[in-house]
Structure 1
């Protein structure tokens, strides 16, 4: 009969959890910054250069999030325009092996995916010709 050591199982679980990369989202970053400011030692306040560096980091995070949101919106809009233009038209893959009339399009993470009249699918990415 095989016995399982509960301590080794727990340490394995802890190790695998610790191996996952930890990321800090926008709200967590704000909470940490505010907590640091609230709990600083009044007799030794934070160095102003360090404080300005953290504010600059905060500003960069905020600007990056706004830029990412705009890029996501632009990519979605582009995918919808491609999908609208493709329905009912004949598409041909870049290598010429797949061709057919588009009956429907679904939006995927990488590119819109056209469903052809014969049931095959074709990613509407660069190199695909529409006629």
Structure 2
């Protein structure tokens, strides 16, 4: 019986390591503007290139004596994490991109006639990865 369990365990370990290379996501682009275009408009790309856990910072408007940021780590983000270009346009959002530090870029979506403001921060390793979302809306 022990030999059978050992053999089954060895088979399961071997199968776990035998994931085909095709299942690994391919970086859409090393160039951030091209990467962002694909990331915004493709939920599969968002799933593949979003950190887990994802750092989420929101403003607690009910905090006393004044609103304050609250940070939490989201193990399983809800996708899409960023609206696509069409939804951004339909909502009247302005998009701006700024370099933060070496290998780090921040994308801000802001409402023209509202207090809506979301910041998405990406960092570069082998590919770009979203690792932080900040909701500064009140």
- Greater per-residue strand proportion: 2
Both proteins in one fold, TM over 0.5? no
TM-score range, shorter chain: under 0.3
Normalization by structure 1: what TM-score?
0.27
Normalization by structure 2: what TM-score?
0.26
Structure with bigger gyration radius: 1
